[in-house]
A and B are shown apart, each in its own frame.
Chain A
Amino acid sequence: MGKKILVVDDEPEQIDFASIVLEENGYVPISAANGIDGMKKAKAEKPDLILLDILMPERGGIGMYQELRQSDETKNIPVVIVTGVARGGHFEEFMLTQGQDIPAPDGYIEKPMNPDVVLKLIGELLS
């Protein structure tokens, strides 16, 4: 049984793409289209890793990340942040952890998702 990966993205196409890439490489993808649904699935399905789109409407990605890190059930799940803008991670890290005692995410990947980069990063985080 492959490792379970939760893909949270508001764009169905992105979910499809990531899911197929993951599935074809031996992972079991599950998905959510928003932060609320994502949080529910994170708690219920206990994924091994979460791919989280930071740019979802209404602080969706940021809010969900903070919630993940503050909940005992989910705080140890590795989170890879998918960002639309290449800013080297500093801005995202600031947004995700600002003013609170929240650890930085485990990794970042930029959109467009390069399958090789994603798979390499996930492989490293899960080994």
Chain B
Amino acid sequence: MVKTRKRFDAMSKILVIDDEDSIRKLLSISLIYKGYEVVTAEDGEEGIEAFKKESPQIVLTDIKMPGMDGIEVLKRIRRLDPDARVIVITGHGDMKSAVEALQLEASDFINKPITDEALSVALKRAEEILWMKSKLRDYTSDLEAKIKEATDELRAAHDFQQNLIQNSIDGIIAADRHGSVIVFNQGAENLLGYSADEVIAKMQMDRIYPSGVAEMIKEELNGEAYGGKDRLVNYESVIISKNGEEIPVRISGAILFDNGATAGVVCFFQDLRQIKRLQKELIENERLSATGQAVAGMAHYVKNILNGLQGGVYIVNTGLRKNKSDVLRKGWGMVENNVAKISDLVTNMLIYSKDREPELAPCFPNDIAQEVCDLMQEKARQSKIELVRDLDPSINECFLDPNGIHRCLLNLVGNAIDSCVLDPEKDKTCSVAIGTRKEGDWIRFDISDNGAGMTKEVQEKLFDRFFSTKGPKGTGLGLLVTRKIVEEHGGSISYESDPGEGTTFTMRLPYRRSPEEA
């Protein structure tokens, strides 16, 4: 706030009161010359009237006047405006009047005959005081404005807070240190079905929680786990509405302190009903879409097998019709081959869809690896891939599910060979290695190839349901089934892969010497 400040060089208004016409004129000329605006009055009464009308900052008044004298004028002006400066003009040697005037807080006195110098000094002092007073007044009114401003701000902040609390979508409930509800906003009303009037100062905050939950929340508030001590951030729980409905909510809260002492608690409740419903829908949608994809993929794969079967049947018929046993044999081979594929698919599906315990039986892990190599030898040879065996002779008989492990190795070796076939580098000599190692209480199987390797995108989807890189030639079940079997054994499966360099899959299985060993 800016106020016009009077300075002693700025134009001030001066009231000159003197019964002597010549003095009035002389002073007027002199003062106008100094830059003042001058108002004159012939006696006290006229002076007071002029003062009221003109509100001069400075008054020059003669002491000895007929009617109202200068002392009386001084008294009255001081009452009218304590800030106005009154300079009294005293007769030569009239020290008594001068002292009296000063006691009545006249600004100054000038002796007659008036000299220009004395007048200037008196005016200067008066102006200085006026200036200081105005500064003080500005300062004071600034202060007042500032206080008003701060008060307004506080009020605005308070209103804002009230608004914020009241209009927050979250339910906001605060309780005093005795647990009695003191804040219950619109959001809380909507959430819980109570009106604020019903609960404020009438209900304990604990009432909104199912039994035991309030204690848990207090414990969490005091504990460090959710957002640190005295705070609770995004804690999921339930609260109970007025009509008894359990509402899932996310609670954030804080203990309120007043000078170090617990003053109460405030909690924010986010309604999770909508979110929970959406989450459920999302999971359901994902499940449906995965199921749809699975069915589509499976249909494709089954159709492929069916084609093979039909082809086989056609050839068998041709062989029969023409009585050619070599054709018959080829056709029968195709039928058998496709029957094996169907059987394999069904087994995979059953393994994948059921929770089962591995059928542990004593077996030699190296023998299983050998069997798988023998089975895959032909497939590898056709694609000019070398099959390397690197089996640890220190592995003895142990308890595994031999069929399961056989299936896992068959899947992994089959994948390794496919990965070599898919390798665009035609000149590369591809090889697939099966290694076994005993590592303490574990057996490790490593199946590595130097084939195409997997891109990051493929790696990300590796254990996705029904994801396959082989189009209709794959079900996307192989790795899932492998992982499931390994995990049912209490083992783990991991891999390392670089596009262009190849892939290594590692299965770690517990080396059980008896079926009871966990």
Contacts and interface: CB of A to CB of B under 8 A. Distances in A.
Interface of A: 10, 12-14, 16-17, 20-21, 24, 33, 36, 55, 57-58, 84, 111-113, 115
A112 B311 contact: yes
B311 A57 contact: no
Contacts of A55: 471
B422 A20 contact: no
Given A13-B311, A112-B307, A84 B472 contact: yes
Contacts of B330: 16, 20
Interface stretch (B116-124, B194-202, B314-322): B314-322
Interface residues of B, number: 23
A19 B327 CA distance: 10
Contact of A17 (B314, B322, B421, B471): B314
B308 interface: yes
A57 B333 CA distance: 25
B337 A13 contact: yes
Contacts of B314: 17, 21, 115
Contacts, number: 43
A16 B329 CA distance: 11
Given A13-B337, A16-B330, A58-B422, 16 more contacts: A12-B382, A13-B334, A16-B315, A16-B334, A17-B311, A17-B312, A17-B334, A20-B315, A20-B318, A20-B331, A36-B426, A55-B471, A57-B421, A58-B424, A111-B307, A112-B307
B310 interface: yes
Interface string B402-415: 00000000000000
A36 B327 CA distance: 28
Interface string B336-359: 010000000000000000000000
Contacts of B422: 57-58
A32 to B, nearest CB: 13
A23 to B, nearest CB: 8
Contacts of A112: 306-307, 310-311
Contacts of A16: 315, 330, 333-334
Contacts of B424: 58
A33 B379 CA distance: 13
A13 B311 CA distance: 9
Interface in B358-398: 382
Contacts of A20: 315, 318, 327, 330-331
Interface string B193-221: 00000000000000000000000000000
A7 to B, nearest CB: 13
Interface string B108-135: 0000000000000000000000000000
A13 B308 contact: yes
Nearest to A18: B311
Contacts of B334: 13, 16-17
B382 A33 contact: yes
A10 B327 CA distance: 21
Nearest to A58: B424
Interface in B258-312: 306-308, 310-312
B507 to A, nearest CB: 27
A20 B472 CA distance: 24
